[in-house]
Amino acid sequence: MAAARRIVVKVGSSSLTTAGGGLDADRVDALVDTLAKAGGEKEIVLVSSGAIAAGLAPLGLDRRPRDLARQQAAASVGQGLLVARYTASFARYGRRVGQVLLTTDDTSRRAHYRNARRTLDQLLAMGAVPVVNENDTVATDEIRFGDNDRLAALVAHLVRADLLVLLSDVDGLYDGDPSTPGTSRIDEVTGPKDLEGVSIGSAGKAGVGTGGMVTKVDAARIAAAAGIPVVLTSASHAADALAGRPTGTFFHRTGRRSADRLLWLAHASTPRGALTLDEGAVRAVVEGTGSLLPAGIAGVEGEFSAGDPVELRDTGGRAVARGLVAFDAAEIPQLLGRSTRDLARELGPEYEREVVHRDDLVVLRR
């Protein structure tokens, strides 16, 4: 960990705000002090929650609203306050801040994920600190994404980070409720078997965010499977994590890096529909032997356009993969079970192609 040069740090709402919802300037400054002093060789990408929480008090709200419209109104007010506070705080160290707002659905598309990577890389090259948040003001289902924990894992993969640090209001993952006597912290996780039998409940205390320990462990699993080690600890121990000193719970990498867009497709996209595959097509998709052709499709559900993410299911309804479809939903019924040669002869040469290309497909189960 000490050798990690590019680090993604995720901080949640409860670490930045008062219980009433307003930004706590002292807590923000304390975090920035830690990040700014991490060392000149380190590049930090900060994934920061807190926009909705920061907007509560200015709008006269005493708790996080349940309805989407008021959540988005709070995010609109709070995001400006959040970035302004970071800008002022990092300015004490002569550092610039760059705001990057992402929607997870968009970043599964080629052009969008490339632009996101290019922007983040350029900000780091110019010495700025990217402050990433989900675009809560325009997000729909994504606004309940998990307090940015999963987003942080995906951003870590996007920027090819050496380490992901997830900051919580507890100092790691415990084998039970941390407030219960007799529970112990889990110092290392080498794989899924280490967590068998562990009850992972919500650990959030402040009531201003949506994340808990479940979303943090999910994020750690995503990053570790993508070849990125993870430290889960409290904000007060952030300096130890950045310096490579043992702290919190360390998740060892369990896999190797995959194509960025496929990770986003697997974990961040919202399927717009579904295609049911016959046994041969399921086998070809799962074993990675080819693209999905019309001949292997038995059914179609939903309304989607070419380029949208869709779920690929077996005849039992189980999702086996996710992919970016090359046809509109209205076009697919006439293609079902037919060879591309027949389709080209009857409908034209533009139909002699795959429905989901191998490069736009990610397997969900093996």
Annotated binding site: 10, 49, 136, 148, 168-169, 210-216
Distance CA 105, CA 331 (A): 23
Per the annotation, binding residues for ATP are: 10, 168-169, 210-216
Strand, coil or helix: 205: coil
Q: Which residue type occupies 21?
A: G
Which residue, 153, 101, 122, 149, is CA-closest to 43?
A: 122
* Residues whose CB is less than 8 angstroms from the CB of residue 131 and which lie 6 or more positions away in sequence, other chains included: 46, 48, 82, 83, 86, 97, 98, 99, 100
Strand, coil or helix: 120: helix
* Residues whose CB is less than 8 angstroms from the CB of residue 226 and which lie 6 or more positions away in sequence, other chains included: 153, 156, 157, 255, 256, 257, 258, 263
In the sheet that holds 6-11, the strands lie side by side as 97-102, 129-134, 43-48, 6-11, 163-168, 230-234, 249-251, 188-189
